[in-house]
């Protein structure tokens, strides 16, 4: 994506909706330019009429006109900046909303392929670079560009020979800007990477805070944190250094120019080819032009920053999902909710050479419980995620009541599926809102009933604010068993026909497990249930058990059959019996 394409996209998708504000800002920029030029021009009659001719009639008029000129400049500049700030913030909001929408709708595999800290850096650091381009660079192009034109007009009006010498600064500034622009793009990209690294570290720090304490790694993490912050600091210094690199060159050039102009002007005044009032008016215009020339020299840098950020942001917004909603697809019609996986193969796109599932064939009986067992990493959770199309199979078919799930309307498919994961995901909200999340239109009574059936009411009533208790980030204020029961309550409220349980009772004490088992019985009553079992004792009465090993179905049948026919299953069961 080249720079022209990025600018066109930013205009078409975002900036054009605020064109009225931008045009108004340009009008006020013209007033800034006109008033600045008027200030320089007024010095000519002020010196000639007041100081040389000692004309009393203008002693009040010219100072008042100067006050008006400065006031017009100040007020116009303020309004122009406010208009561009508002425009930039509106554009920022629109970009961030589009990025968040892209994150929300993105395929799960896309989100998992990149650390969340990097996305946060894109959302904050990069978007700020684009708003900076609007508020600083584009406003400067209007304001300083027009001001420079006005001042050049005054300078040429006073003396064209001196003006030709003075405008040498402009090509010098252009050369500086071009060189800085090439450098800034690289430095800003590096800074964004370091910003992303710091965000990644910060998220990991919060997630693993207890682990850091237990393993006494505070000093180690302090050193790491210092390194991440220092790396970002170094890049920020580089950006600032590149920005101000033009200052010493411009100062030296300006000093040389003024010295040459004074020398040449002195010669012209001595030869009576230039009057003193003309010279001071010209000098004022030239000195005032120094600021816009300097500002325009760094415009290219700000634009470079914004374009560099655009190259990273727009692909995120443009990200095309592989798993589409299929809004025109057939709606899922549930009878028994029988699920079949036929010759299913799957590999993660981030590691396509590693085939996770190989020729999987599974029949899941409707309104009954089917269990998946096997060693960790065998592919059980992946099978579960294929059913609601969190991922899509590479080849093969998955059918629900003989309807291919890829042909179905995605919303109608997921409407009939609930999942209770071993890694329970909760929001930093109240207990009530976490349960109601599954069914926003649910009544309070339905929420309370779901909590009762999930065996959650007993512990909720003991919380400080009961159902209105804020549970913290990912339910940090709740125990593992309490979070699981909230998750089950959420699934109960949804009342879907298919229930997926991913080791929902793993790593729990016997008393908590007993409560959760009762909650699961309520949840799975007359529902098609697929359960990944950590403890084989919990799935002994399953309609069917599939043994998954290294991405393949090694055996299937009821518990007693598998004990007789599968050595691998018998070894798994015997090992658990011994451990218990």
What are 420-473's pLDDT values in tens digits? 887 778 888 899 999 998 888 989 999 998 888 888 888 899 888 899 999 888
HEC letters along 22-78: HHHHHHHHHHHHHHHHHHHHHHHHHHHHHHHCCCHHHCCHHHHHHHHHHHHHHHHHH
Residue 296 and residue 437 in one domain: no
Q: Strand, coil or helix: what is 163?
A: helix
Q: Per-residue pLDDT for 540 more than 90?
A: no
CATH classification at residue 93:
1.20.1560.10
List the single range of 91-105, 189-203, 381-395, 479-493 with lowest mean pLDDT.
189-203
Domain end call among 288, 317, 346 = 317
Q: What average pLDDT score do residues 72-100 get?
A: 90
Is residue 515 a part of any domain in this protein? no
What are 294-337's pLDDT values in tens digits? 777 677 777 877 888 888 888 888 888 888 888 888 899 988 89
Is residue 190 a part of any domain in this protein? yes
Residue 105 and residue 251 in one domain: yes
Residue 310 and residue 434 in one domain: no
What are 26-56's pLDDT values in tens digits? 999 999 999 988 888 888 777 777 777 777 7
Helix or strand (DSSP H, E) at 191: helix 169-207
Is residue 193 a part of any domain in this protein? yes
Is residue 10 within 8 A of residue 130, CB to CB? The reply is yes
Domain end call among 270, 302, 317 = 317
**Alpha carbon distance 521, 413 (integer Å):** 23
Residue 430 and residue 313 in one domain: no
**Alpha carbon distance 374, 367 (integer Å):** 23
Residue 439 and residue 305 in one domain: no
Residue 216, class by beta-carbon neighbours within 10 Å (0-12 exposed, 13-18 middle, 19+ buried)?
Answer: exposed
Tokens of 58: 């203008």
Between 192 and 163, where is the model more confident?
A: 163
Tokens of 387: 């059913």
* pTM assigned to the model: 0.76
Residue 310 and residue 458 in one domain: no
Average pLDDT of the residues of the chain:
83
Residue 441 and residue 308 in one domain: no
Q: How many angstroms separate the Cα of 323 from the Cα of each of 326, 418, 520?
A: 9, 19, 30
Q: What is the DSSP letter of 387?
A: T
Residue 433 and residue 306 in one domain: no
Tokens of 231: 């790396």
Is residue 414 a part of any domain in this protein? no
pLDDT of residue 509: 58
Is residue 518 a part of any domain in this protein? no
Question: Which domain covers residue 457, as residue numbers?
Answer: 425-495
Number of folded domains that form the chain: 2
What are 191-231's pLDDT values in tens digits? 878 888 888 888 788 777 767 777 677 788 888 888 888 88
pLDDT of residue 166: 76
Q: Rounded to the nearest 10 degrees, what angle do helices 169-207 and 246-270 cross at?
A: 160
What are 550-563's pLDDT values in tens digits? 889 888 888 888 88
Is residue 66 a part of any domain in this protein? yes
Q: What average pLDDT score do residues 67-95 get?
A: 90
Q: Per-residue pLDDT for 577 more than 70?
A: no
Residue 168 and residue 45 in one domain: yes
Domain end call among 297, 317, 337 = 317
Count of Cβ atoms closer than 10 Å to residue 258 Cβ: 16
Contacts of 87 (CB under 8 A, 6+ apart): 15, 18, 21, 22, 25, 134
Is residue 311 a part of any domain in this protein? yes
Q: What are phi and psi of 433, to 5 degrees?
A: -70, -30
What are 343-362's pLDDT values in tens digits? 999 988 877 678 889 999 99
Place of tokens 């009574």: 445
Count helices and strands in the chain by DSSP H and E runs: 22, 10
Q: Per-residue pLDDT for 173 more than 70?
A: no
CATH classification at residue 482:
3.40.50.300
Contacts of 174 (CB under 8 A, 6+ apart): 297
Residue 154 and residue 273 in one domain: yes
Q: What average pLDDT score do residues 534-560 get?
A: 82
Is residue 503 a part of any domain in this protein? no
Q: Per-residue pLDDT for 580 more than 70?
A: no
Q: What average pLDDT score do residues 62-71 get?
A: 89
């Amino acid at each position: 994506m080249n720079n022209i394409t990025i600018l066109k996209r930013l205009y078409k998708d975002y900036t054009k909706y605020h064109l009225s504000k931008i045009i108004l800002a340009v009008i006020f920029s013209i007033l800034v330019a006109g008033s600045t030029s008027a200030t320089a021009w007024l010095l000519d009659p002020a010196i000639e009429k007041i100081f040389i001719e000692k004309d009393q009639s203008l002693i009040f008029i010219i100072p008042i006109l100067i006050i008006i000129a400065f006031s017009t400049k100040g007020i116009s500049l303020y309004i122009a900046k406010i208009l561009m700030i508002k425009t930039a913030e509106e554009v920022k909001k629109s970009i961030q909303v589009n990025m968040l929408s892209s994150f929300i709708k993105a395929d799960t595999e896309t989100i998992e392929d990149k650390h969340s800290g990097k996305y946060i850096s894109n959302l904050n650091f990069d978007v700020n670079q684009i708003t900076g381009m609007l508020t600083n660079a584009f406003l400067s192009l209007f304001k300083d560009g027009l001001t420079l034109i006005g001042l050049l007009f005054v300078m040429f009006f006073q003396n064209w020979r001196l003006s030709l010498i003075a405008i040498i600064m402009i090509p010098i500034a252009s050369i500086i800007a071009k060189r800085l622009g090439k450098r800034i793009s690289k430095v800003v990209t590096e800074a964004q990477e370091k910003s992303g690294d710091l965000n990644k570290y910060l998220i990991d720090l919060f997630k693993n805070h207890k682990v850091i304490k237990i393993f006494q790694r505070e000093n180690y993490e302090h050193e790491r944190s210092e390194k991440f912050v220092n790396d970002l600091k170094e890049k920020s210094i580089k950006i600032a250094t590149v920005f101000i690199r033009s200052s010493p060159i411009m100062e030296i050039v300006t000093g040389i120019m003024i010295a040459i102009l004074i020398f040449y002007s002195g010669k012209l005044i001595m030869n009576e080819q230039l009057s003193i009032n003309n010279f001071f008016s010209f000098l004022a215009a030239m000195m005032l032009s120094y600021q816009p020339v300097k500002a325009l020299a760094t415009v290219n840098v700000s634009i470079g920053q914004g374009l560099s950020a655009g190259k990273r942001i727009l692909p995120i917004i443009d990200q095309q999902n592989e798993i589409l909603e299929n809004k025109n697809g057939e709606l899922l019609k549930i009878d028994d909710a029988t699920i079949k996986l036929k010759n299913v193969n799957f590999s993660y796109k981030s590691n396509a050479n590693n085939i996770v599932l190989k020729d999987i064939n599974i029949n899941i009986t409707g309104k009954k419980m089917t269990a998946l067992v096997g060693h960790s990493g065998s592919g059980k959770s992946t099978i579960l995620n294929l059913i609601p199309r969190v991922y899509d199979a590479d080849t093969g078919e998955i059918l629900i009541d003989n309807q291919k799930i890829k042909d179905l309307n995605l919303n109608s498919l997921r409407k009939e599926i609930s999942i209770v994961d071993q890694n329970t995901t909760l929001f930093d909200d109240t207990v009530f809102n976490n349960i109601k999340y599954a069914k926003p239109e649910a009544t309070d009574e339905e929420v309370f009933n779901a909590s009762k059936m999930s065996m959650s009411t007993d512990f909720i009533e003991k919380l400080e604010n009961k159902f209105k208790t804020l549970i913290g980030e990912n339910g940090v204020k709740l125990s593992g068993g309490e979070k699981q029961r909230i998750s089950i309550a959420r699934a109960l409220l949804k009342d879907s026909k298919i229930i997926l349980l991913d080791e929902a009772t793993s790593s729990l004490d016997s008393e908590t497990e007993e409560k959760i088992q009762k909650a699961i019985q309520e949840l799975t009553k007359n529902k098609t249930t697929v359960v990944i079992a950590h403890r084989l004792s919990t799935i002994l009465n399953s309609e069917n058990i599939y043994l998954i090993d290294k991405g393949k179905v090694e055996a299937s049948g009821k518990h007693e059959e598998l004990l007789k026919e599968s050595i691998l299953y018998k070894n798994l069961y015997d090992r658990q019996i011994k451990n218990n």
